[in-house]
Structures are given as C-alpha cells and as structure tokens.
Amino acid sequence: MSVLTAYPELLASGAPLAMSSDLPVADFSDTPWWLSLFKAFLLFVYVMISVVIVIWFERRVIGQMQQRPGPNRLGPLGILQTTADGIKLFLKEDVTPKGADKVMFYAAPLIVASLAFVSFAIIPMGGDVRMFGHTTPLQLTDTPVAVLLVLAVAGVSAYGFVLAGWSSGSTYPLLGGLRSTAQVISYEIAMGLSLVAVFLYAGSMSTSQIVAAQQQTTVLGIQLWYIVPLFFSFVVYVITMIGETNRLPFDLAEGEGELGGGFHTEYSSMKFGMFFLGEYINMFTVSALATTLFLGGWHAPWPITLIGDGMFDQGWWGLLWFTAKMWGFIFFYVWVRGSLPRVRYDQFMALGWKILIPLSLVWVVAVVLIRSAQEGYFGEGRWVTVVTLAGIGLFVLLGILLWDRYAQRRAEERERSREVPEEIDPFADGYPVPPMPGQRLVEPRPGLEQAAAVTVPGGTAEPTTTDDPKEPRG
C-alpha cells in the first residue's frame, strides 16, 4: 500500500484501469496453420539456443565470482563446452535399475522436458510482424486464461518428479520426489496469490492484454509497469520462481549432501539430460512470465518509447527488449546460485507456508480494497474506509505472527526442560541409539555382549575378550 500511495495522481483519479474488454488482444486472424507451425519451430529453436548459451553463461559467471576461469578450452571463451557436454550425455551408458518400473521410469523425464516447452506458447515476445506476406504477432497463441495455463502446466510437471523418484525403486530418489512435490505445491500457492494482484489491476488473465494494460497505465506520462505498484507481488513471485524451478538455494529435491542426487539419482545418459533440459527451460519460462506480468512484456523501457514516435517499440524490436529483460532474470538466477548456500528443508517450507502465503493473502485483500476505492465502491469516505480496514488486517496479521513466535519459544522451552536419563543402553530396543548430549552409556552393555555371541553347529561359541583393543572380539 505504501508504494501505491506514492502516486496520488493514479490513486486519486478514481477512474478504473482498463478492463479486458478495452484492451487489445493478439490478433491471429491472418495467421494460417502452417505459419503457426513455423512459429512453433522458431520458438523451439529460440528456447534451445537460449539453453545452450545459459549453461555456458552460468559456468563462466560463477567462475568469475569464485575467481576461477570456468570453461575456456573448447571454442572461443569455451563457448563449445555445452555442445561437448551434450555429446557426452548421448554417448554415456544408459542404465536402468533392475527394480525400476520401466514404463514410469522412461515416462518421467519425457513429461518434465516436454511440458517445459508448453508454457512458452502463450508468452508474447514482440509486436505484430510480417512473415511470408502475413501479419502475425510474435506469440504462438493466447487464451483468456493464459496465465492459469502456465500454473496448470507447472503443476502437472510435478508428476514427472514424483514418478521419477517412485519408479526408480530406490530410497533416495523417492525422498527427493516427495520433497520436490511438497516444494512445488507449497510454492505454487504463493506464486498464484502473487499473480492475483496482477489480474485485479489488468482486469484480464490474457498475457497480451496484461502487456497492453501496463502500457495504458501511466503516471506523469511514464508507463507504469506493474513492478512499481505491485512491488510486493513481484518480490514474492521472484522468491517462488526460484523454489518452483528447484534452483539454489532451494534445490532441496536434489540435495547432494542429503539425498545423493535426489529424484534423478538413478538416471543416466539422455534421460538425465531431459531433467537437466527441463530445469533450464523452466528458468526461462518463469523469467519470461515475470517479464510479461511485471516489466511491461516486449515493450521498450521509457524514454526509448518516445524516440521516433515509438519506432523502436514495435515489430521485431520487441524481441530484443523481451530477451534483454528475460536475461536480466537469468543473471539474477546465476548470481543467487553463486552467492547463497542451500537452506534447511524445514526453514524452506516454513518460509512458504508461514510467511509468503499469509503475507500474500493480506496483500491481495489490500489490493482489492484499493481497487474498490478507486472505482468508488465505498462512497465519499472511501480512503478512510480503506485505511481502517487495512489497519485492522495488519493488526490481526501482527497478532498471528506474535502468537506463532510465542508458541515456538514455548515448544523450545519444553524441549529443553524435558528430563533426559543420565544413562542409556543403546541396544535396549534391539537397534543402536546414539546417546544425547550429557548422557553416558550403561556399562556393561548386555545388548552388545549378546549380539557378539556366535551360533555355530553343535552349540554357541561364547565371545572371547582381550585386553588389546586392537584385537577383534568374538
């Protein structure tokens, strides 16, 4: 709310922002089916080239951050290293575990890799251009609920992770698949809530109309991209998009120190390459969506839009501005990976469920109140009503946070005050239990002596003892 109140011209006007019926929609009336197929092919090439570049880019940038050269042998500045890695994946042995469910084991990487391309179809990457005598937008398709399509595809791709873990027939992949599923579900809720505010301001869920709405919203003649009035939603989206794509510091589904490799531990060759490819394409997908919803999409930044009556803000120029904005998010991904350590899993889930989701709910309610006041639903004293309701909401939220903190401290005090026996028999229940801090082991340890007894034909051999600790017992 503090960001919005900084723009009295926008808030005090009382006029609603353009609704979906007033916004231009991407026009595909002059796009035959074969041209759509050609645009799909160009989109595929664009994404694949971007993935090849970003793998090299990430290794070079992190190398500079860590004061090492990074790839520098194959090609100029090591640009061909990604190609060599792809060839290596093709030539590696393709191993399938004996206990794996082969159908699901092969289907999981295909689900992850193929669905990663789907979301890019609704992203507007430029204005209308001329191709083969036809005028067509630089967008494959658009729907009235295009943004929901991206969230739906992201939800379905979670099946690929859980199927990969379950079908491997191994413990660590199963744990990684369950982690990934819980992670995706929890962070999709906060991501969806962060996008609700965008829908309220644009009056549409169509990507082309959301881009057009940002161009029509101006303050002092400057286009007001939604990153300014909806800055909190933007911050929440940036956090959730990192968690959604399983990237550091939130790559807990692949934690090498805990799970060996996570849900794809048992995968090799190009099946592993499919997961690798899907992760990087998802990086571009969420970055492209952030560009579309918060940074004005393919439009040029102000004041470039004023040059030559907007000649640099139409046609193929939009692809340049869109790519530049998207790669800004990619650099942020790489910078975060090279800067922050992996967080603990319980901290990560607490961030999603206890902080991001409640704050996003309060923010959405605040945006609803502000939009309602703009449209005059509260009468003459609408801003007094908005401030009062917002104050009540913040008071309730603060009370909930304080109560949660108080409950955590009480639980920690009960844990510290719990009586711990001074002695412990680690083999009392038939399996070893390590002592807690301050405990000492029971001597002698009858469980260990019994376990050391060896049964032989014709009787039981009693364990032998020796004073030399280096000699084996029994």
Cis check for the bond before 435: say yes or no (omega within 30 of 0).
no
Supply the pLDDT for residue 378.
Answer: 54
CB 193 within 8 A of CB 218: no
Residue corresponding to tokens 């939220």: 397
Longest CA span, the chain: 102
Give residues with Cβ within 8 angstroms of 17, minimum separation 6.
Answer: 201, 202, 203, 213, 216, 217, 374
Q: What sign does the dihedral 53-57-59-60 (CA atoms) show?
A: positive
Say what the pTM is. Answer: 0.76
- Is there a contact between 49 and 43 (Cβ–Cβ < 8 Å)? no
74, two tokens:
């194959």
Give me the pLDDT at residue 449, please.
52
Per-residue pLDDT at 14: 39
Q: What is the CA radius of gyration of the chain?
A: 29
> Tokens standing for 290?
């952030």
pLDDT at 26: 77
The answer to whether the beta carbons of residues 209 and 325 sit under 8 Å apart is no
Residues 6+ positions from 375 with CB-CB distance below 8 Å: 14, 16
Instruction: Please report the pLDDT score of residue 375 as a whole number.
Output: 66
Q: Could you tell me the mean pLDDT of each successive run of 10 residues in the chain, 474 residues long?
A: 37 42 75 89 91 89 86 84 85 84 86 84 87 87 86 82 85 83 82 89 86 76 80 90 82 73 81 85 90 87 75 83 92 89 84 86 83 64 63 72 78 72 71 73 58 50 48 45
CA–CA dist 449, 408 (Å, integer): 42
Q: Which helix (H) or strand (E) holds 78?
A: none
* CA separation for the pair 318, 316 (Å, rounded): 5
Residue appearing with tokens 């082969």:
102
- 455: part of which helix (H) or strand (E)? strand 454-456
**The residue to which tokens 């934690």 are assigned:** 255
- Token pair, residue 235, equals 């911050």
Q: CA distances (Å), 333 to each of 93, 241, 339, in order? A: 31, 10, 10
Q: Which of 53, 157, 79 is nearest to 112 (CA)?
A: 157
Cα gap 463→318, rounded to integer Å: 81
Residue 7: its pLDDT value, please? 37
pLDDT tens digits, residue range 144-172? 888 888 888 887 888 888 888 888 888 88
> Which residues contact residue 314 at a Cβ distance below 8 angstroms, ignoring those fewer than 6 apart?
127, 128
pLDDT at site 17:
44
Amino acid occupying residue 330: I
Tokens encoding 29 = 């009336």
